[in-house]
Amino acid sequence: MGIVDLRSDTVTRPTPGMYEAMMSAPVGDDVFEDDPTVRKLEDTTAALFGVEAALFVPSGTMGNQVSLFTHARPGDELICDDDAHIDWYEVGAPAVLSRLMVRPIPAPGGIPDVERIRAAIRPVNIHHPRTGIIAVENTHNRAGGVIVPLAVMRAVAQLARERDIRCHLDGARIWNAHAATGIPLRDWMQGFDSASVCYSKGLGAPVGSAVLGSREFITRARRTRKMFGGGMRQVGVLAAACLWALEHQLPLMTEDHKRAQTLAARIATIPGLHLIPDPPPTNIVVIDIEKTGHAVDSVLPELRSKGVLMVAFGPTRIRAVTHRDVNDDDIARAADSFHSVLTSR
């Protein structure tokens, strides 16, 4: 019996179609901007989001940090929410790489409060840092795959324009927002100066993200990427897998959402268990077990012994993420294992 791996949607393996595309991809030297497969991926992605240009980078973290560095002035302040990936999971990179101060503000349920952002913008004063960038994460990982509503996105972008502040979208899983709502990808990007989108989350490509923006911004971001060590050579072999994923996987992502909802519904009957949110809006299931009488550090090994992998998501929370490589039988097995572990004592 195999492993049901729900640790992340980054654990997927390349499909036969991806391997075939990778093996047959025409390649060049991307640092010289002459890899035709990379250029096709960048042009395709830019068109999907309605922007002038895109830049292929190895990871979502690099995509975010290339964007921040390209926008930033040393000593500027970055406003983001207090559960943002940029603040929690990128190893202090805004401070180390861009010399940005991070000002996290509360965003209950992962939804930014425009008035809180407005209040956090620094007044012009010789004693204060300059508010240089506002970042929004959509969908929101730590909030359980929540979709930030389009109206909120546009309100944040409008506020940034009014105050001459750059606005960045951490859109690692923006594909999920598109799949869940049917709202075109270009609409989610509207009003933002830059974005980072990830091909290895949800879409299931083995590696890669893209930075999006104006042609002038991407020209500067390309230089930043080189500085950060992200200049790659015959990387069309990876870009081909991303192109395959855009064509074949993007239309199927609602299946991941359905399986997340099935898993949530099947474990929701466990006494004391709490889902955040309930039901899950996309492909992330966050499970709070504080009131079940069990501890995360004992539940996870017991699940592993049954061939089910999830991750700790705080002292009382566990995260499960559905993706292309799990099917309905896997979800049933994961739910049964969860019931067995949490009701065994």
CATH code at 40? Answer: 3.40.640.10
Is there a single domain that holds both residue 232 and residue 262? no
Q: What is the mean pLDDT of residues 25-35?
A: 95
Domain that holds residue 134: 16-248
Residues 291 and 238 in one domain: no
Q: Are residues 326 and 209 in the same domain?
A: no
Q: What is the mean pLDDT of residues 268-277?
A: 93
- Same-domain status, 272 and 184: no
Examine residue 165 and state whether it is found in any structural domain, yes or no: yes
pTM for this model (two decimals): 0.95
344 pLDDT band, cuts 50/70/90, is confident
One domain for residues 230 and 146: yes
pLDDT of the residue at 69: 98
Residues 195 and 259 in one domain: no
Helix (H, G, I), strand (E, B) or coil at 14: coil
CATH number at residue 297: 3.90.1150.10
Rounded average pLDDT over 70-85: 96
Angle made by CA atoms 126, 130, 132, in degrees to the nearest 5: 165
Higher pLDDT, 342 or 263: 263
pLDDT digits (tens, 9 = 90+) for 103-138: 999 999 999 999 999 999 999 999 999 999 999 999
Number of domains, the chain: 2
- Contact by Cβ (8 Å): 51, 189: yes
Residues with Cβ < 8 Å from 76, sequence gap 6 or more? 100, 101, 129, 130, 131, 132, 133
In a domain, 10, yes or no: no
DSSP letter (8 states) at residue 145: S
Instruction: Return the number of other C-beta atoms located less than 10 Å from residue 31's C-beta.
Output: 15
Q: Return the pLDDT at 345.
A: 59
Same-domain pairing of 108 and 224? yes
Q: Residue 343's pLDDT is what?
A: 87
Shared-domain flag, residues 57 and 140: yes
Band (89; pLDDT cuts 50, 70, 90): very high
Residues 86 and 209 in one domain: yes
**What whole-number distance in Å separates Cα of residue 118 and Cα of residue 111?**
15
Element holding 197 (H helix, E strand): strand 194-198
pLDDT in tens, 148-188: 999 999 999 999 999 999 999 999 999 999 999 999 999 99
